[in-house]
C-alpha cells in the first residue's frame, strides 16, 4: 500500500489541527498589517516553508511531505476560512500550480534544482500566462521566445501575475513559433534575476490587498535552452492539462471562505439586536442562513468529489470547469447574503465580512472566467 493510500481521515484531521495552530500563531496576527501595507512580505514564504506548509504533496525526495492532494487542499482551505483568500491564492500558485507543472512536465534536473527550494520557501514562484492584450484568449499572447543557439531570447510583457513581485522564478508562456498559433506556445522556467527581466510595481486591487500581483517585462532576456519546460510548442497543451488542478484548488478555497463567512455571520446575528430581539430571531435571518448553509454544503460535496476524482486521475476538464464555476459563484452569493445580515457594519472595512466581499469577487475571473468555464462545459455538451 502506498503512503498516500495509508493516510487516514484521523491523520488528515491531525494535520488540519497543526495547520490551524500554525496559521493562528504566524499568519493571523500579521495579516491585517499586510493588508494595510498592500503587500505580502518575502519572509512569510520562509516561515511557511519552515513549518512544512509548502508543496506538501510533492514526494519527500523533492522536498515535499509525500502526502496526497487532500493535504495541500486542506492548507488552502484553512487559509481561506480565515478570510485570507488572496493568501490562499498565492500559496496555491506556488505549491499547487507551479510545483506541479515542474513535477509533471519537468526533467529530472529541473525537478531536483527547483522543487526542494520551493518547498522550503527559499524560492518563490509565479506563472505568467496573461498579457495586457490576452487573458481569456491565451492563444493570442504576443510574448516571444526565439531560439538563438543555446538560448531563447524572450521579449514581451505579462500582467496580473500573482506572486509577481516576490517571485524568484516564473513559468513564462511565450511563443517560440509566432506563426503557429496555439501550437507555437512554449513554457520556460525563468530566473527572475536574469538581465532584461523587470518587475512592475505591485498592482492595487479592490480586494485581496495583501495579495502580491504584478506586471512583468522581458526585454531581450537570454533564457538558457535548458530552462524550456517540457517540449517546444506543447505549452498550450500543458496549460490545458494543468489548469484543472488550479480550478479545483480555487473551488476548495471558495467553499472554505464561504464557511468562514457563515461562521462570522451566525456569531453576529446572535449578538446584534433590533426591535427588541436578536437579529437571529427574524424569520428572514433564519431562512437566509438556511439557504446559505445549503448552498455551501451542495458545493462542498461536489468539490470533495472532484478532489477524489483528481486524486484517482479521473477528473475531466469539464468537471474542473463546472466545480470552479459553481463554487466561485456560490462564494460570491454567500458573502453577499452574509454581508446583508451585518447591516451597515458589513460595509465597514474593519469587519472581515466586508473584506470577504471584495476578496471573493475575483474568484469568478482568474484561472478562467465564469464565461470561459461555461464555454468549456457547453462545448463538451454540444460537441463543438
Ligand atoms: C488578482 C488577479 C490575479 C491573477 N493572477 C494571474 C496569474 O497568476 N497568472 C496569470 O497568467 N494570470 C493571472 N490573472 C489573470 C486572469 O487569469 C485573467 O484576468 C482572466 O483570465 C481574464 O482575462 P482578461 O482579464 O484578459 O479578460 P478578457 O479575456 O478580456 O475578458 C473580458 C470579459 O469578456 C469575457 N469573455 C472573453 N472571452 C469570451 C468568450 N469566448 N465568450 C464569452 N465571454 C468571453 C470574459 O469572461 C470577461 O467577462 C490574474 C487576474 C487577477 C485579477
| Cβ of 146 below 6 Å from ligand 1 | no
Which residue among 98, 135, 166, 376 has the greatest number of ligand 1 atoms within 8 angstroms of its CB, and so is best to mutate? Answer: 135
Q: Where are the domains of the chain?
A: 3-123, 127-233, 236-382
Q: Measure 203 CA to ligand 1 centroid, in angstroms.
A: 15
Residue 246 among the catalytic residues: yes
Which residue among 240, 369, 371 has the greatest number of ligand 1 atoms within 8 angstroms of its CB, and so is best to mutate? Answer: 369
Confidence at residue 8, expressed as pLDDT on a 0 to 100 scale: 76
pLDDT digits (tens, 9 = 90+) for 196-221: 999 998 899 999 999 999 999 999 99
What does the H/E/C string look like for the chain? CCHHHHCCHHHHHHHHHHHHHHHHHHHCCCHHHHHHHCCCCCHHHHHHHHCCCCCCCCCHHHCCCCCCHHHHHHHHHHHHHCCCHHHHHHHHHHHHHHHHHHHHHCCHHHHHHHHHHHHHCCCCEEEECCECCECCCHHHCCCEEEEECCEEEEEEEEEEEECCCCCCEEEEEEECCHHHHHHHEEEEEEECCCCCEEEEEECCCCCCCCCCEEEEEEEEEEEEHHHEECCCCCHHHHHHHHHHHHHHHHHHHHHHHHHHHHHHHHHHHHHCEECCEEHHHCHHHHHHHHHHHHHHHHHHHHHHHHHHHHHCCCCCHHHHHHHHHHHHHHHHHHHHHHHHHCHHHHHCCCCHHHHHHHHHHHHHCCCCCHHHHHHHHHHHHHCC
| Cβ of 65 below 6 Å from ligand 1 | no
| Cβ of 371 below 6 Å from ligand 1 | yes
Q: What distance in Å separates the CA atoms of residue 18 and residue 61, rounded to the nearest whole number?
A: 23
At 65, is the secondary structure helix, strand, or coil? Answer: coil
Q: 382 — phi, psi (to 5°)?
A: -100, -5
Confidence of residue 3 (pLDDT cuts 50, 70, 90): very low
Confidence at residue 293, expressed as pLDDT on a 0 to 100 scale: 98
| Cβ of 127 below 6 Å from ligand 1 | yes
Confidence of residue 39 (pLDDT cuts 50, 70, 90): confident
Confidence of residue 9 (pLDDT cuts 50, 70, 90): confident
Q: Measure 65 CA to ligand 1 centroid, in angstroms.
A: 33
Q: Measure 136 CA to ligand 1 centroid, in angstroms.
A: 5
3-123 and 127-233 have identical folds: no
Residue 2 has pLDDT above 60, yes or no: no
For residue 208, the ligand 1 atom closest to its alpha carbon is 1
Given 78, 242, 246, 319, the catalytic residue:
246
Residue 5 has pLDDT above 60, yes or no: no
Nearest CA to ligand 1 atom 6: 161
Residue 4 has pLDDT above 60, yes or no: no
| Distances in whole angstroms, Cα of residue 97 to Cα of each of 102, 241, 300, 307, 363 | 9, 11, 21, 15, 16
pLDDT digits (tens, 9 = 90+) for 167-194: 999 999 999 999 999 999 999 999 999 9
Confidence at residue 317, expressed as pLDDT on a 0 to 100 scale: 96
pTM for the model stands at 0.96
Q: What distance in Å separates the CA atoms of residue 142 and residue 134, rounded to the nearest whole number?
A: 8
| Cβ of 294 below 6 Å from ligand 1 | no
Nearest CA to ligand 1 atom 25: 135
Mean pLDDT of 116-141: 97
CATH 3.30.420.40 corresponds to the domain 127-233:
no
Q: What is the DSSP string of 90-120?
A: HHIIIIIIIHHHHHHHS-HHHHHHHHHHHHH
β-strands 277-278, 273-274 pairing: antiparallel
Percent of the chain topping pLDDT 70: 98
| Cβ of 107 below 6 Å from ligand 1 | no
Confidence at residue 260, expressed as pLDDT on a 0 to 100 scale: 98
For residue 86, the ligand 1 atom closest to its alpha carbon is 1
* Half-sphere exposure in the Cβ direction for 29 (13 Å, CA): 5
| Cβ of 136 below 6 Å from ligand 1 | yes
Cell of 14: 491531525
pLDDT digits (tens, 9 = 90+) for 133-160: 999 999 999 999 999 999 999 999 999 9
| Cβ of 160 below 6 Å from ligand 1 | yes
Cell of 29: 496576527
| CA 240 remoteness from chain centre | 16
Q: Measure 370 CA to ligand 1 centroid, in angstroms.
A: 10
Residue 120 has pLDDT above 70, yes or no: yes
* CATH class assigned to 3-123: mainly alpha
| Cβ of 171 below 6 Å from ligand 1 | no
For residue 367, the ligand 1 atom closest to its alpha carbon is 17
pLDDT digits (tens, 9 = 90+) for 307-330: 999 999 999 999 999 999 999 999
Instruction: Evaluate the CA torsion angle 237, 243, 245, 248 in order and state its sign.
Output: negative
pLDDT digits (tens, 9 = 90+) for 52-111: 999 999 999 999 999 999 999 999 999 999 999 999 999 999 999 999 999 999 999 999
Mean pLDDT of 281-300: 98
Confidence at residue 383, expressed as pLDDT on a 0 to 100 scale: 84
Residue 6 has pLDDT above 70, yes or no: no
How would CATH label the architecture of 236-382?
Answer: Up-down Bundle (1.20)
| Cβ of 362 below 6 Å from ligand 1 | yes
pLDDT digits (tens, 9 = 90+) for 341-365: 999 999 999 999 999 999 999 999 9
For residue 129, the ligand 1 atom closest to its alpha carbon is 11
Q: What distance in Å separates the CA atoms of residue 190 and residue 251, rounded to the nearest whole number?
A: 29
Mean pLDDT over each residue of the chain, to the nearest integer:
96
Q: Measure 261 CA to ligand 1 centroid, in angstroms.
A: 26
Q: What distance in Å separates the CA atoms of residue 30 and residue 308, rounded to the nearest whole number?
A: 34
Q: Measure 200 CA to ligand 1 centroid, in angstroms.
A: 19
Confidence of residue 7 (pLDDT cuts 50, 70, 90): low
pLDDT digits (tens, 9 = 90+) for 233-280: 999 999 999 999 999 999 999 999 999 999 999 999 999 999 999 999
Amino acid at each position: 500500500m502506498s503512503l498516500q493510500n495509508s493516510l487516514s481521515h484521523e491523520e488528515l484531521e491531525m494535520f488540519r489541527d497543526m495547520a490551524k495552530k500554525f496559521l493562528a500563531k504566524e499568519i493571523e496576527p500579521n495579516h491585517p498589517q499586510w493588508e494595510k501595507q498592500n503587500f505580502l512580505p518575502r519572509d512569510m514564504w520562509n516561515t511557511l516553508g519552515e513549518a512544512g506548509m509548502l508543496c506538501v504533496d510533492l514526494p519527500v525526495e523533492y522536498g515535499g511531505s509525500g502526502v496526497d492532494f487532500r493535504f495541500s487542499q486542506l492548507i488552502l482551505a484553512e487559509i481561506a476560512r480565515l478570510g485570507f483568500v488572496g493568501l490562499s491564492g498565492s500559496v496555491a500558485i506556488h505549491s499547487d500550480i507551479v510545483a506541479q507543472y515542474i513535477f509533471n512536465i519537468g526533467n529530472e534536473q529541473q525537478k531536483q534544482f527547483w522543487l526542494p527550494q520551493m518547498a522550503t520557501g527559499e524560492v518563490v514562484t509565479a506563472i505568467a500566462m496573461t498579457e495586457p492584450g490576452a487573458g481569456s484568449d491565451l492563444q493570442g499572447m504576443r510574448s516571444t521566445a526565439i531560439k538563438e543557439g543555446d538560448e531563447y531570447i524572450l521579449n514581451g510583457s505579462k500582467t496580473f501575475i500573482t506572486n509577481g513581485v516576490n517571485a524568484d522564478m516564473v513559468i513564462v508562456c511565450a511563443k517560440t513559433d509566432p506563426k503557429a498559433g496555439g501550437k507555437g506556445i512554449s513554457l520556460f522556467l525563468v530566473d527572475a534575476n536574469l538581465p532584461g527581466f523587470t518587475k512592475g510595481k505591485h498592482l492595487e486591487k479592490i480586494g485581496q490587498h495583501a495579495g502580491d500581483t504584478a506586471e512583468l517585462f522581458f526585454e531581450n532576456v537570454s533564457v538558457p535552452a535548458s530552462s524550456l519546460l517540457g517540449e517546444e510548442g506543447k505549452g498550450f497543451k500543458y496549460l490545458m492539462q494543468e489548469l484543472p488542478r488550479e480550478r479545483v484548488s480555487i473551488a476548495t478555497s471558495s467553499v472554505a471562505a464561504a464557511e468562514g463567512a457563515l461562521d462570522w455571520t451566525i456569531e453576529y446575528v446572535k449578538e446584534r439586536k433590533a426591535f427588541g430581539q436578536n437579529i437571529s430571531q427574524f424569520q428572514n435571518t433564519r431562512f437566509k442562513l438556511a439557504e446559505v448553509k445549503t448552498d455551501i454544503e451542495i458545493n462542498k460535496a461536489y468539490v470533495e468529489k472532484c478532489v477524489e476524482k483528481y486524486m484517482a486521475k479521473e477528473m475531466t476538464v469539464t468537471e474542473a470547469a463546472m466545480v470552479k464555476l459553481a463554487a466561485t459563484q456560490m462564494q460570491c452569493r454567500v458573502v453577499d447574503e452574509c454581508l446583508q445580515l451585518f447591516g451597515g457594519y458589513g460595509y465597514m472595512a474593519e469587519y472581515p465580512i466586508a473584506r470577504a466581499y471584495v476578496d471573493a469577487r475575483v474568484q469568478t475571473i482568474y484561472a478562467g472566467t465564469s464565461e470561459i468555464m461555461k464555454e468549456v462545459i457547453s462545448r463538451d455538451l454540444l460537441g463543438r
